[in-house]
Amino acid sequence: MSGSIVILTGAGISKASGLETFSGDGGIWNTHEVDKIASAEALAKNPTQVLSFYDDMRRKLLSDEVSPNAAHYALARLEAEWAGQVIIITQNIDNLHERAGNTHVIHSHGELTKARCTSCGHVFSWWRDIDTNDLCGVCGEDAPLRPHIVLFGESPLELGKTEDALGHCDLFVSIGSSLTVHPAAGFVDAVNSRDNTRTVELNQEPSARSEVFDEGYFGAAEEIVPIFVSGLLAGA
Ligand code: APR
């Protein structure tokens, strides 16, 4: 049991933890206008509305209602017991992978529990609402803080580390993502383009990129991820 594993996760893995997905039935973007609350343009024009949207999400994430589920814990078990490297690349802005125990997590869309200076880019740990009066105390510019979140119109974070992980993995697993947003939707192609790799999708339903994976298993992540992980650890 060895080899390097990269796991891409999306909103579906956190659904059973009490967090809504973005697209599809009941998805956040069905009831909220992306352009007005989650875009770089909105942050420039109406920061209060953007801060308030992410403040609500942060409050919910840190409430008693939300905790890691069996899928998060299964991935933590995989990192602990697998002989090779296990890297999670998540599109999720929650901290449920870390709370379950994973330590190698790349947050490509940022993190709700961090804030960033709009001038120098310094990143702060952040556990409460971000107020327009919260200013950076590091660069001396008294610049306002913003969520450390990739808004629509901005580039994903940690692209170098992501490319490196994808370029070296033997197994790539996508869990709980509709695979409709780039660059994550194309990660499977980068892995498929190398010889001797295995690509697997675990999702409630086939994603937009399902047909290019070597294998697909469909059902709720909290049910199928623990089974998949047990199989991997048993040598399947
Ligand atoms: N188990 C597994 N999969 C699930 C579950 C579940 N319990 N519940 C829902 N799903 C699946 C859905 O079928 C869907 O394919 O999870 C996927 C969630 O898709 P999205 O809401 O589009 O989330 P994601 O793919 O992470 O979105 C990527 O798009 O809107 C932006 O920035 C946002 O990070 C987000 C990005």
Model pLDDT for residues 9-23, shown as the tens digit of each residue = 999 999 999 999 998
**How far is ligand 1, taken at its centre, from the CA of residue 140, in Å?**
40
Q: State the DSSP code for 195.
A: T
Q: Which residues are near ligand 1 (CB < 6 Å)? A: 10-12, 15-16, 21-24, 27, 29, 91, 109, 176-178, 180-181, 203-205, 207, 220-221
**∠ CA 151-154-159 to the nearest 5 degrees?**
110
Residues forming the active site: 109
The one-digit pLDDT tens for each residue of the chain (236 residues) are 579 999 999 999 999 999 999 988 889 998 888 899 999 999 999 999 999 999 999 999 999 999 999 999 999 999 999 999 999 999 999 999 999 999 999 999 999 999 999 999 999 999 999 999 999 999 988 899 999 999 999 999 999 999 999 999 999 999 999 999 999 999 999 999 999 999 999 999 999 999 999 999 999 999 999 999 999 999 97
Q: What pTM value is reported for the model?
A: 0.97
- Residues in contact with 172: Cβ distance below 8 Å, sequence separation at least 6, in sequence order: 5, 6, 7, 8, 166, 187, 188, 191, 197, 198, 199, 200
Atom of ligand 1 nearest to the CA of 202: 2
Rounded Cα distance between 136 and 217, Å, is: 46
**How far is ligand 1, taken at its centre, from the CA of residue 177, in Å?**
4
Q: Are the beta carbons of 171 and 186 closer than 8 angstroms?
A: no
175-194 pLDDT, tens digit per residue, is: 999 999 999 999 999 999 99
Rounded Cα distance between 236 and 229, Å, is: 9
